[in-house]
């Protein structure tokens, strides 16, 4: 594909294909993809085609989005969240490898411990998460715990993607289109999905700000794909 252009904030990539950011995510076959661009109601729709829809509690819809022509969801930091867990998602989940993506806009000036997305086990002992605690981070705990971070930002969009695979001890991270080094760890065991939260984790830690384009994949994407998913650039050729 050719170099990307943007018209009214909507990416238009080479070849005249008119591909949007959502189209790019779908290129990589997510098992669940929640754009969070609903305008009303309590349903949180899955755009992957797998119908792993969820429900929301307290979210305000139609907030300004990432610049791709879609809106985002607004979370008040007190008790707003979406629950996208279900038997279908649990069955599609790969217990030893995967990829997690989310875009978020923080409005907490104190950069407190708040959760963007948490996909975790029943006791939350093992997990894949995107969150902030002073810095803004992606992390996976599967036996060992590995994460990558960047200095926290306020009132600006940020995207994080992480990929992991127990086989080969794969740990890859991307923040805002750039490769980030993974902290040392040895992954082992399995992650049996029991919770799939957006805007919280099992003990709360509610997000304050906006979230958009949360997606999970059943394989560990390459670094080039992660860097593409965390930017509005064209997909890697």
**For the segment 34-66, what is each residue's pLDDT rounded down to a tens digit?**
999 999 999 999 999 999 999 999 999 999 999
Return the CATH number at 44.
2.60.120.200
Domain contains 95 = yes
| Residue-range definition of the domain harbouring residue 106 | 30-229
Domain contains 235 = no
Residue 156 scores a pLDDT above 60: yes
pLDDT band at 237 (very low <50, low <70, confident <90, very high): low
pLDDT band at 9 (very low <50, low <70, confident <90, very high): very low
**What is the DSSP track for the chain?**
----EEETTEEE-GGGT---HHHHHHHT--SEEE-----SSSEE---SSS---EEEESPEEEE--SSSS--EEEEESSS-EEE---HHHHHH--SSEEEEEEEEEE--TT--SEEEEEEE-TTSSSEEEEEEESEEEEEEEEBEEEEEEEE--SSSEEEEEEEEETTTTEEEEEETTEEEPPPP--B-S-----EEEES-BTTB---EEEEEEEEEESS---HHHHHHHTSSSPPP-
Average pLDDT over residues 124-138: 96
Residue 214 scores a pLDDT above 90: yes
Domain contains 14 = no
- Total domain count, the chain: 1
pLDDT band at 16 (very low <50, low <70, confident <90, very high): very low
């Amino acid at each position: 594909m050719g170099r990307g252009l943007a018209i009214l904030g909507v990416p238009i990539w080479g070849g005249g294909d008119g591909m949007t950011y959502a189209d790019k995510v779908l290129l990589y076959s997510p098992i669940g993809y929640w754009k969070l661009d609903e305008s009303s109601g309590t349903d949180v729709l899955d755009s992957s085609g797998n119908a792993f829809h969820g429900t929301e509690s307290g979210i305000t819809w139609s907030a300004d989005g990432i610049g791709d022509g879609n809106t985002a969801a607004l979370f008040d930091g007190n008790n707003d969240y979406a629950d996208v867990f279900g038997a279908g998602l649990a069955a599609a989940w790969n217990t030893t490898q995967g990829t997690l993506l989310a875009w978020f806009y923080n409005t907490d000036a104190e950069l407190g411990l708040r959760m963007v997305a948490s996909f975790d086990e029943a006791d939350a002992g093992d997990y894949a998460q995107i969150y902030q605690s002073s810095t803004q981070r992606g992390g996976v705990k599967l036996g060992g715990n590995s994460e990558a971070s960047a200095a926290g930002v306020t009132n600006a969009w940020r995207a994080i993607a992480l990929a992991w695979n127990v086989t080969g001890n794969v740990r890859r991270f991307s923040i805002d289109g750039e490769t980030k080094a993974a902290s040392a760890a040895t992954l082992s065991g399995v992650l049996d999905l029991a919770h799939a939260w957006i805007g919280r984790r099992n003990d709360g830690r509610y997000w304050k700000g906006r979230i958009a384009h949360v997606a999970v994949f059943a394989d560990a994407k390459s670094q080039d794909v992660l860097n593409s998913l965390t930017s509005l650039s064209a997909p890697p050729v």
